[in-house]
Amino acid sequence: MKTIGHFIGGKHVEGTSGRFADVYNPATGEVQAKVALASQAELAAAVANAAAAQPVWAAQNPQKRARVMMKFVDLLNRDMDKLADKLSSEHGKTFVDAKGDVQRGLEVIEFCIGAPHLLKGEFTDGAGPGIDMYSMRQPLGVVAGITPFNFPAMIPLWKLGPALVAGNAMILKPSERDPSVPLMLAELLQEAGLPDGVLNVVNGDKEAVDAILDNPTIQAVGFVGSTPIAHYIYHRAAETGKRAQCFGGAKNHMIIMPDADMDQAADALVGAGFGAAGERCMAISVAVPVGDETADRLIEKLVPRVEALKVGPYTAGDDVDFGPVVTKAAKENILRLINSGVEQGAKLVVDNRNFSLQGYEDGFFVGPHLFDHVTKDMDIYKTEIFGPVLSTIRAKTYEEAIGLAMDHEYGNGTAIFTRDGDTARDFASRINIGMVGINVPIPVPLAYHTFGGWKKSGFGDLNQHGPDAFKFYTRTKTVTARWPSGIKEGAEFSIPTMK
Do 184 and 111 share a domain, yes or no? Answer: yes
Do 53 and 142 share a domain, yes or no? Answer: yes
Contact 124, 152 (CB under 8 A): no
Residue 227, domain CATH: 3.40.605.10
Do 148 and 296 share a domain, yes or no? Answer: no
- Sign of CA pseudo-dihedral 458, 459, 464, 468: positive
Do 51 and 32 share a domain, yes or no? Answer: yes
Do 308 and 350 share a domain, yes or no? Answer: yes
Do 170 and 200 share a domain, yes or no? Answer: yes
Contact 178, 148 (CB under 8 A): no
Do 230 and 324 share a domain, yes or no? Answer: no
What are the strands, taking DSSP E only, across 1-56?
Answer: 2-4, 6-8, 11-13, 20-25, 30-36
Residue 333, domain CATH: 3.40.309.10
Residue 115 lies in a domain: yes
- Domain coverage including residue 305: 252-438
DSSP 119-146: T---EEEEEETTEEEEEEEEE-SEEEEE
Amino acid at 28: T
428 vs 410: CA distance, rounded Å: 17
Do 471 and 406 share a domain, yes or no? Answer: no
Residue 274 lies in a domain: yes
Do 422 and 471 share a domain, yes or no? Answer: no
DSSP letter for 194, please. Answer: P
End-to-end CA gap in the chain = 76
203 Cβ partners below 8 Å, 6+ apart?
A: 4, 5, 6, 15, 35, 36, 37, 38, 173, 174, 176, 179
Do 472 and 339 share a domain, yes or no? Answer: no
169, 213, 281, 306: which is the annotated catalytic residue? Answer: 281
Q: Which residues are registered as beta bridge partners of 369?
A: 389
Do 33 and 55 share a domain, yes or no? Answer: yes
Contact 150, 281 (CB under 8 A): yes
412 Cβ partners below 8 Å, 6+ apart?
A: 247, 249, 250, 251, 252, 281, 282, 433, 434, 435, 453, 454, 457, 458
* Known catalytic residue at 281: yes
Q: Coil, strand, or helix at residue 211?
A: helix
Residue 446 lies in a domain: no
Per-residue pLDDT of the chain (499 residues; tens, 9 = 90+): 899 999 999 999 999 999 999 999 999 999 999 999 999 999 999 999 999 999 999 999 999 999 999 999 999 999 999 999 999 999 999 999 999 999 999 999 999 999 999 999 999 998 888 899 999 999 999 999 999 999 999 999 999 999 999 999 999 999 999 999 999 999 999 999 999 999 999 999 999 999 999 999 999 999 999 999 999 999 999 999 999 999 999 999 999 999 999 999 999 999 999 999 999 999 999 999 999 999 999 999 999 999 999 999 999 988 899 999 999 999 999 999 999 999 999 999 999 999 999 999 999 999 999 999 999 999 999 999 999 999 999 999 999 999 999 999 999 999 999 999 999 999 999 999 999 999 999 999 999 999 999 999 999 989 999 999 999 999 999 999 998 776 566 676 777 665 5
11 vs 71: CA distance, rounded Å: 19
Do 337 and 243 share a domain, yes or no? Answer: no
Contact 341, 371 (CB under 8 A): yes
DSSP letter for 311, please. Answer: B
Contact 265, 417 (CB under 8 A): yes
Q: Which residues are registered as beta bridge partners of 117?
A: none
State the pLDDT at residue 159: 98
63 Cβ partners below 8 Å, 6+ apart?
A: 116
Q: Closest Cα partner for 253 from 283, 297, 298, 292?
A: 283
Q: Which residues are registered as beta bridge partners of 480?
A: 133
